[in-house]
Amino acid sequence: MPRRRFQVRGVVQGVGFRPAVYRLALARGLTGVVWNHAQGVTLEVQGVEADLAAFERALREEIPPPARIQSLVVEAMHDVQGEAGFRILASGQGEAPRPVVPPDLALCEACAAEVDTPGERRYRYPFTNCTRCGPRYTIIEDLPYDRPRTVMKAFPLCADCAREYQDPLDRRFHAQPVACPACGPRLALQAADGLVRAEGEAALAAAAEALGQGAVLALKGLGGYQLLVDATSAAAVELLRSRKRREAKPFAVMFPDRASLLRDCEVSPEEDAWLASPEAPILLLRRRLGGAVVAEVAPGNPRLGAFLPNTPLHRLLLAAAGRPLVCTSGNLSDEPMAFEDDEARRRLGGLADLFLSHNRPITRPVDDSVLRVDADGPTILRRARGFAPLAVPLGWKGPGALGLGGPCVLALGAHQKNTVALLKGGELVMSQHLGDLTSLEGSDLLARTVTDLLAFFGARPELLACDLHPDYASTRLAERLAAEWQVPLVRVQHHHAHGAACAAEHGLTGPALALTWDGTGLGSDGTLWGGEALWIEGAIFTRLGHLKPFPLPGGATAVKQPRRSAAGLLWAVRGAGAPPPALAAAFDGAEWAQLQTLLAAGFNSPVTSSLGRLFDAVAALAGLHARGGFEGQAAMALEFAAGERVEAPYGWDFLDGVADPAPLVEGVLADLAAGREAGFIAARFHAALAELALAWAHQAGLPDVLLSGGCFQNALLTARVQEKLGGAGFRVHRHRAFPPNDGGISLGQAAVAALTKVDP
């Protein structure tokens, strides 16, 4: 009788793949075996030809998500005599760690129904899960992924759970985090001093009641502690802002259910699918007028970061609270999220009134992912829960393509929005978003994440990559590891890494123009770059064009004080002088004069070609957030002010690829003098940037143009540049699976290092 072997790679471990195979084989009377191993899953089936063909079809078409087959190799085998039935073999022992570490998955429909149904064993149980949903990456201690190597080892299965766990026909067959009210983790509500106030249902009810009264709740979520407040109460939101020292940056909001979300946000069919997906990211949705969420949640922002409960605990809490809740990372400003209980009480004690916690440990912090869907598709803006640490095939084509034999590279990423990337076997594994590395917690987390990824993926890097900047925590760790492992370290310029990330994501290694428009990053010439047109080819880049540099009086402080960028830009264009009337009010007393002195002396006034700072300067001139806020706030205000309106672009002066914004600045000043409003100026500015993109694209004369850098988080800018370049026949590539912001830098560093020929 014919027998076939199927070698399956993809998302096939920890997602109910083997039980699904078992059921398919059983339904067709086939005998055989299936087992997990280092490269994925292998199965052998034996039976009559028609049944084997039907089985293969079903395998390709009927495996339920979140399982995903990336490659399937079929071989004919000799038959096995006397085989009885179909068996699921135990995971291979003593093999190399397997390359697939499953990401955490949002509550599935079947489990949600159980949680909602009185009489079910898991009715209202906050830790319900199955092979299709639940924690994975956040509970794994070691591989292979089996219960004894997760934090669930502390919860011996009761007889009922054990039966489900062992029954190949059950949805919970080998669901490693399986648990129930009799044997699993439990909830507790604690005061900031750690004193337990209530447990179980009573804890949930008391937490919901406190939220209704305006309290700040620290919730131990899936991948760390989150801070929650009533999103319909301005007072509650302001309380959280003052305690978290976060003045204006938008908060994400979790809604109890889809119906309540639809009252506050517009949702397209594609966005709807993402809301219900196993990744269940925060989506940046258009707000509706007259919704329940107060304006203080995202001041002046036409979009709202919205998502649905992704665990049974969130589902029960949101239902009990009966209102949308602000749901933000449990941290102070830009530190990493707290995820261990003692640490959380220490760090969040002054922020939260109550802690809704439980006794299931979290092995590593994983934030919520953020995604935006534009007219031409989705872009991940923060890659974390649901996506990390899935390997993404890069599929490079053409000369210099990385085959399976490419070197193993570890890249340590940028200083802000840090991620770590591991390139191995032509696939890229990006860590979850780790946040800023300015704090001690941040650099500790970076080191732990590196150790994790190398162990999980059995990787021994032959090359290391980091930023050019000598003082970043990521650079220092890269230097230390390079010395320890005796491997070469490739230092990659920040904007080169941005462009290379976009190229790698789209499988391009040939020459392309990268428009890397960004905040500031250290350039190869020691100045601050950020408005760049780079010719990228393999591991090499040439700076084809850039914004004409202007000084930033006060250096780094300019990032949070757009009026300083405006002063520097005016100095570069007009020289010394009084501030234009519209801008004068943004400066205190002698401040303008002091900045003029700094600029005249060239003291603490580094020059930059940053487009992000040009955004700040123009926003400040237009009267938007001139005094300050969070990084990017003024630029966002300019995007929102422009709305959908289309106006004639401001001009540029070009000299050898250097774009002088002097005509643009004069145009803005003339419009201000004529009393034109901010929206008009903002629309002309965006149109001018599309013209700038086109001018550089014509100068490069290459068919492929890559868009990367923090400025391309701006949906309007991205759309305008795409239209302009697309209309002129260029192929425009933008980020999809990886963030255009500094979260994508590690990918670009890894790609450049892999393409670099390093002499031994």
Tell me whether strands 354-358 and 370-374 are parallel, antiparallel or unpaired: unpaired
Instruction: In angstroms, give the least distance from the CB of 107 to Zn ion.
Output: 6
The residue range among 67-75, 132-140, 328-336, 480-488 that interacts with Zn ion, by the rule CB under 5 A, is: 132-140
Q: 560 vs 23, 416, 557, 611, 627, CA distance in Å?
A: 58, 15, 6, 15, 8
Give every CB contact of residue 154 below 8 A, 6+ residues apart in sequence. 359, 361
Shorter beta-carbon distance to Zn ion: residue 50 or 159: 159
Instruction: In angstroms, give the least distance from the CB of 161 to Zn ion.
Output: 3
Interatomic CA distance for residues 741 and 342, integer angstroms: 32
Shorter beta-carbon distance to Zn ion: residue 164 or 271: 164
Instruction: In angstroms, give the least distance from the CB of 109 to Zn ion.
Output: 8
CB-based burial label for 404 (10 Å; 0-12, 13-18, 19+): exposed
Shorter beta-carbon distance to Zn ion: residue 162 or 600: 162
Cβ–Cβ < 8 Å for 214, 239: yes
Tell me whether strands 217-220 and 225-230 are parallel, antiparallel or unpaired: antiparallel
In the region spanning residues 714 to 733, those forming contacts with Zn ion, defined by CB under 5 A, are: none
CA atoms within 13 A on the CB side of 502: 31
CA 472-477-479 angle, to 5 degrees, is 95
Shorter beta-carbon distance to Zn ion: residue 68 or 645: 68
Interatomic CA distance for residues 440 and 220, integer angstroms: 22
Interatomic CA distance for residues 655 and 579, integer angstroms: 28
What mask, x for binding Zn ion by CB under 5 A, covers residues 49 to 88?
A: ----------------------------------------
Q: What type of residue sits at position 276?
A: A
Give every CB contact of residue 289 below 8 A, 6+ residues apart in sequence. none
CA 627-633-639 angle, to 5 degrees, is 115
133: contact with Zn ion by CB under 5 A: yes
Write down the H helix ranges in 322-439: 341-348
Q: 531 vs 247, 639, 650, CA distance in Å?
A: 28, 17, 17
Q: Token pair for residue 679?
A: 């929206």
What mask, x for binding Zn ion by CB under 5 A, covers residues 353 to 382?
A: ------------------------------
Shorter beta-carbon distance to Zn ion: residue 133 or 267: 133
Residue 696: other Cβ atoms inside 10 A: 22
The residue range among 155-163, 369-377, 439-447, 727-735 that interacts with Zn ion, by the rule CB under 5 A, is: 155-163
Interatomic CA distance for residues 490 and 580, integer angstroms: 46
Instruction: In angstroms, give the least distance from the CB of 167 to Zn ion.
Output: 14
What mask, x for binding Zn ion by CB under 5 A, covers residues 158 to 197?
A: x--x------------------x-xx--------------
- Interface residue with Zn ion among 12, 15, 25, 130 (CB under 5 A) is 130
Instruction: In angstroms, give the least distance from the CB of 623 to Zn ion.
Output: 51
Shorter beta-carbon distance to Zn ion: residue 158 or 192: 158
In the region spanning residues 190 to 249, those forming contacts with Zn ion, defined by CB under 5 A, are: none
Shorter beta-carbon distance to Zn ion: residue 180 or 678: 180
Instruction: In angstroms, give the least distance from the CB of 114 to Zn ion.
Output: 8
The residue range among 150-158, 203-211, 325-333, 561-569 that interacts with Zn ion, by the rule CB under 5 A, is: 150-158
The residue range among 130-138, 381-389, 402-410, 621-629 that interacts with Zn ion, by the rule CB under 5 A, is: 130-138
The backbone torsions φ and ψ at residue 532, rounded to the nearest 5 degrees and listed phi first, read -115, 150
Shorter beta-carbon distance to Zn ion: residue 134 or 710: 134
In the region spanning residues 672 to 691, those forming contacts with Zn ion, defined by CB under 5 A, are: none
What mask, x for binding Zn ion by CB under 5 A, covers residues 318 to 357?
A: ----------------------------------------
Strand ranges in 375-511 using DSSP code E only, listed in sequence order: 377-382, 391-393, 409-411, 421-424, 427-430, 463-467, 489-492
The residue range among 154-162, 207-215, 545-553, 733-741 that interacts with Zn ion, by the rule CB under 5 A, is: 154-162
Shorter beta-carbon distance to Zn ion: residue 180 or 410: 180
Instruction: In angstroms, give the least distance from the CB of 162 to Zn ion.
Output: 8
What mask, x for binding Zn ion by CB under 5 A, covers residues 98 to 117?
A: ----------x--x------
Instruction: In angstroms, give the least distance from the CB of 181 to Zn ion.
Output: 7
Q: Among residues 28, 175, 153, 19, which one has the least CA distance to residue 87?
A: 19
Q: Token pair for residue 401?
A: 């393509």
Instruction: In angstroms, give the least distance from the CB of 122 to Zn ion.
Output: 9
Shorter beta-carbon distance to Zn ion: residue 110 or 483: 110
Interatomic CA distance for residues 195 and 228, integer angstroms: 20
Instruction: In angstroms, give the least distance from the CB of 115 to Zn ion.
Output: 10
What does 130-148 look like in DSSP terms, one character per residue? Answer: BTTBB-STTTB-SSS--GG
Shorter beta-carbon distance to Zn ion: residue 6 or 127: 127
Interatomic CA distance for residues 651 and 662, integer angstroms: 8
Instruction: In angstroms, give the least distance from the CB of 472 to Zn ion.
Output: 41
In the region spanning residues 11 to 40, those forming contacts with Zn ion, defined by CB under 5 A, are: none
Interface with Zn ion (CB under 5 A), residue total: 10
Shorter beta-carbon distance to Zn ion: residue 160 or 653: 160
Cβ–Cβ < 8 Å for 749, 467: yes
Instruction: In angstroms, give the least distance from the CB of 368 to Zn ion.
Output: 19
Instruction: In angstroms, give the least distance from the CB of 171 to Zn ion.
Output: 7
Shorter beta-carbon distance to Zn ion: residue 137 or 396: 137
Instruction: In angstroms, give the least distance from the CB of 130 to Zn ion.
Output: 3
Q: Among residues 303, 312, 263, which one has the least CA distance to residue 283?
A: 303
Shorter beta-carbon distance to Zn ion: residue 111 or 423: 111
Which contiguous run of DSSP H or E holds residue 715? helix 715-727
Instruction: In angstroms, give the least distance from the CB of 159 to Zn ion.
Output: 8
The residue range among 128-136, 396-404, 660-668, 736-744 that interacts with Zn ion, by the rule CB under 5 A, is: 128-136
Shorter beta-carbon distance to Zn ion: residue 121 or 323: 121
In the region spanning residues 487 to 546, those forming contacts with Zn ion, defined by CB under 5 A, are: none
Instruction: In angstroms, give the least distance from the CB of 386 to Zn ion.
Output: 14
- Write a three-state SS string for 230-260: ECCCHHHHHHHHHHHCCCCCCCEEECCCHHH
Q: Token pair for residue 536?
A: 């990228």
- Tokens 């929206």 label which residue? 679
Shorter beta-carbon distance to Zn ion: residue 108 or 683: 108
Cβ–Cβ < 8 Å for 18, 24: no
Interatomic CA distance for residues 27 and 57, integer angstroms: 13
- Interface residue with Zn ion among 3, 18, 28, 132 (CB under 5 A) is 132
Instruction: In angstroms, give the least distance from the CB of 206 to Zn ion.
Output: 25
Interatomic CA distance for residues 718 and 721, integer angstroms: 5
Find how far residue 414's CA is from the centre of its chain: 14
Shorter beta-carbon distance to Zn ion: residue 179 or 573: 179
Which residues contact Zn ion (rule: CB under 5 A)?
108, 111, 130, 132-133, 158, 161, 180, 182-183
